């Protein structure tokens, strides 16, 4: 615990700017939505909520028969998006609610990788310089071309009789190519390893199915490997009954085939017709009843900057501090929750009373820290211990001296760290931080 007024620490208030994982201000906050009206929902959880909600007719009745949602049954949700594959896993508990059974996993194996592969093919024909010029100088044509590819990608593989994919190509691409390479597209293709699989003439490109399919291969392997890894890890401890696939990329025929071929022998594989909107609809259901997820697995070890009575046998002299209550040990990392341990979502992870350090103290401060170091550090100034933010609680008067205390309740089971402090006048103070938030 720190005294109010410590200039090292910045207070966090409800109108503070809250960064997302990449350090940018959250769009909802930019749009003026007050932070205390904002709930952050995790996409795979929303998908699970959607798929398991009886009222939504998204999945067949045979699925419901094969997955009756008995206590102890577990499932994996794979959200296959454009940028990433996100995997979550839950167990159905005795209240017919969900307990998270692993820290969400995943990787950069999204559907946009297929588009990058196509761009790489163009680069290997025309060179990076010609391609970048086309992208830069003919940006409208570039976007049109990529939309054409996207359309073909989503329809692939099309009719069984078709052996190749043909796309219209902006004429400006051939112009940029000749400017930089001083030869025709046709001549350049002839010099590549895929000369038998691509026909490139101004205005048109034709790619043989086998080459087009190869754009997907690396991403399909990554998705399969990741799902197998998660499945093997979880199957040692849990009864994994089903895999739910959601997100736009799970609409891809090759993805569906690959996942079904790998898993459907032993597991129920569910790819709902509304895979791309399952998350959005689930978010609405979840927003109305957040209690559906009862426990989550802690992604970090969380702690408070804390003081204890100084014990020379236990504490280093460098941490000794003289207060009205005698010698104290400062900077202790007081563990609130440990990484990989389950934490309830609907009740405080920790509740405790924190006493003032001096009789004249008129405020208290609770600085929160997180770490991935295991075992956790003893003191908050050790390496890999990150300051998340601080809660300040003002105390109205000093009557009661050092007997005054604040009751602190910390909720870590949500997608945020939420703390409530009740002061000596019964007033409640609140703060919220993102779990991965770091203050400098």
281 binds ligand ATP (CB under 6 A): no
Q: Taking CB within 5 to 8 Å according to partner kind, which of ligand ATP, Mg ion, none is near residue 150? A: ligand ATP
157 binds ligand ATP (CB under 6 A): no
The one segment of 77-85, 88-96, 224-232, 432-440 that binds ligand ATP by CB under 6 A: 77-85
Q: Taking CB within 5 to 8 Å according to partner kind, which of ligand ATP, Mg ion, none is near residue 34? A: none
Closer CB to Mg ion, 81 or 367, in the complex: 81
**What's the Rg (C-alpha) of the chain?**
28
CB of 178 to ligand ATP, least distance (A): 31
Q: Taking CB within 5 to 8 Å according to partner kind, which of Mg ion, ligand ATP, none is near residue 111? A: ligand ATP
The one segment of 58-66, 107-115, 187-195, 388-396 that binds ligand ATP by CB under 6 A: 107-115
377 binds ligand ATP (CB under 6 A): no
3-class SS string, the chain: CEECCCCCCCECCCCCCCECCCCCECHHHHCCCCHHHCCCCCHHHHHHHHHCCCCCCCCCHHHHHHCCCCCCEEEEEEEECCCCEEEEEEEECCCCCEEECCCCEEECCCCHHHHHHHHHHHHHHHHHHHHHHHHHHCHHHHHHHHHHHHHHHHHCCCCCCCCEEEEECCHHHHHHHHHHHCCCHHHHHHCCCCCCCEEEECCEEEEEHHHHHHHHHHHHHHHHHHHHHHHHHHHCCCEEEEEEEECHHHHCHHHHHHHHHHHCCCCEEECCCCCCCHHHHHHHHHHHCHHHEEEEECCCEEEEEEEEECCCCCCCHHHEEEECCEEEEEEEEEEEECCCCEEECCCCCEEEEEECCCCCCCEEEEEEEEECCCCCCCECCCCCEEEEEEEEEECCCCCCHHHCEEEEEEECCCCEEEEEEECCCCCEEEEEEECCCCCC
45 binds ligand ATP (CB under 6 A): no
- What does the binding site for Mg ion look like in residue numbers (CB under 5 A)? 81
Closer CB to ligand ATP, 42 or 410, in the complex: 42
Sole binder of ligand ATP in the list 111, 170, 376, 377 (CB under 6 A)? 111
State the CB neighbour count (10 A cutoff) for residue 3. 14
CB of 242 to ligand ATP, least distance (A): 20
Torsion over CA: 47, 53, 57, 62 (sign): positive
91 binds ligand ATP (CB under 6 A): no
Please report, for residues 187, 212, 336, the alpha-carbon distance to residue 190 in angstroms, rounded to integers and kept in the order given: 5, 18, 64
150 binds ligand ATP (CB under 6 A): yes
d(CA 432, CA 129): 48
Q: Taking CB within 5 to 8 Å according to partner kind, which of ligand ATP, Mg ion, none is near residue 329? A: none
170 binds ligand ATP (CB under 6 A): no
Sole binder of ligand ATP in the list 52, 75, 84, 104 (CB under 6 A)? 84
Closer CB to ligand ATP, 150 or 365, in the complex: 150
CB of 110 to ligand ATP, least distance (A): 5
Closer CB to Mg ion, 81 or 272, in the complex: 81
Q: Taking CB within 5 to 8 Å according to partner kind, which of Mg ion, ligand ATP, none is near residue 395? A: none
Closer CB to ligand ATP, 257 or 321, in the complex: 257
Size of site (CB under 6 A) for ligand ATP: 16
Contact, 359 vs 399, CB < 8 A?
no
Closer CB to Mg ion, 81 or 413, in the complex: 81
Contact pattern for ligand ATP over residues 245 through 274, marking x by CB under 6 A: --xxx-xx----------------------
d(CA 239, CA 234): 8
The one segment of 11-19, 75-83, 185-193, 315-323 that binds ligand ATP by CB under 6 A: 75-83
Closer CB to Mg ion, 81 or 389, in the complex: 81
Sole binder of ligand ATP in the list 16, 53, 112, 407 (CB under 6 A)? 112
107 binds ligand ATP (CB under 6 A): no
Give the residues lining the site for ligand ATP (CB under 6 A).
81-84, 110-112, 150, 153-154, 247-249, 251-252, 276
């Amino acid at each position: 615990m720190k005294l109010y007024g410590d200039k090292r620490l910045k207070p966090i208030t409800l109108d503070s700017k809250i960064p997302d994982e990449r350090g940018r201000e959250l769009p909802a906050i930019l749009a003026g939505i007050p932070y205390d009206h904002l709930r952050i929902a995790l996409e795979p959880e929303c998908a699970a909520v959607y798929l398991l909600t009886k009222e939504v007719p998204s999945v067949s009745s045979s699925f419901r028969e094969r997955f009756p949602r008995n206590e102890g049954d577990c499932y994996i949700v794979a959200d296959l998006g454009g940028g990433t594959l996100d995997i979550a896993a839950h167990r159905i508990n005795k209240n017919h609610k969900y307990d998270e059974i692993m820290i969400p996993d995943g990787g950069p194996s999204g559907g946009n990788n297929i588009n990058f592969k196509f761009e790489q093919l163009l680069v290997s024909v025309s060179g990076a310089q010609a391609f970048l010029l086309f992208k830069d100088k003919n940006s409208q044509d570039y976007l049109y071309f990529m939309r054409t590819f996207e359309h073909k990608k989503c329809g692939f593989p099309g009719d069984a009789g078709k052996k190749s994919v043909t796309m219209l190509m902006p004429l400006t691409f051939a112009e940029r190519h000749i400017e930089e390479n001083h030869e025709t597209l046709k001549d350049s293709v002839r010099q590549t390893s895929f000369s038998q699989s691509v026909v490139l003439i101004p205005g048109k490109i034709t790619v043989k199915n086998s080459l087009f399919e190869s754009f997907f291969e690396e991403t399909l392997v990554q998705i399969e490997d990741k799902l197998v890894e998660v499945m093997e890890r979880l199957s040692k401890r849990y009864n994994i009954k089903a895999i739910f696939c959601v997100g736009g990329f799970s609409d891809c025929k090759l993805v569906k085939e690959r996942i079904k071929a790998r898993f459907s022998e032993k597991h129920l594989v569910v790819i709902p017709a509304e895979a791309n909107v399952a998350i959005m609809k689930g978010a609405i259901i979840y927003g109305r009843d957040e209690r559906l997820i009862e426990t989550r697995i802690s992604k970090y070890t969380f702690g408070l900057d804390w003081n204890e009575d100084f014990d020379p046998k236990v504490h280093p002299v460098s941490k000794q501090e003289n207060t009205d209550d005698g010698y104290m040990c400062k900077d202790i990392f007081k563990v609130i929750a440990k990484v990989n341990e389950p934490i309830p979502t609907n009740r405080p992870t920790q509740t405790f009373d924190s006493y003032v350090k001096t009789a004249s103290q008129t405020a208290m401060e609770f600085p929160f820290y997180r770490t991935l170091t295991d075992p956790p550090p003893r003191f908050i100034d050790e390496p890999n211990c990150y300051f998340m933010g601080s809660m300040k609680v003002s105390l109205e008067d000093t009557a009661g001296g050092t007997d005054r205390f604040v009751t602190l309740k910390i909720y870590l089971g949500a997608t945020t760290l939420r703390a409530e402090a009740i002061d000596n006048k019964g007033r409640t103070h609140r703060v919220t931080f993102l779990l991965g938030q770091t203050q400098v």
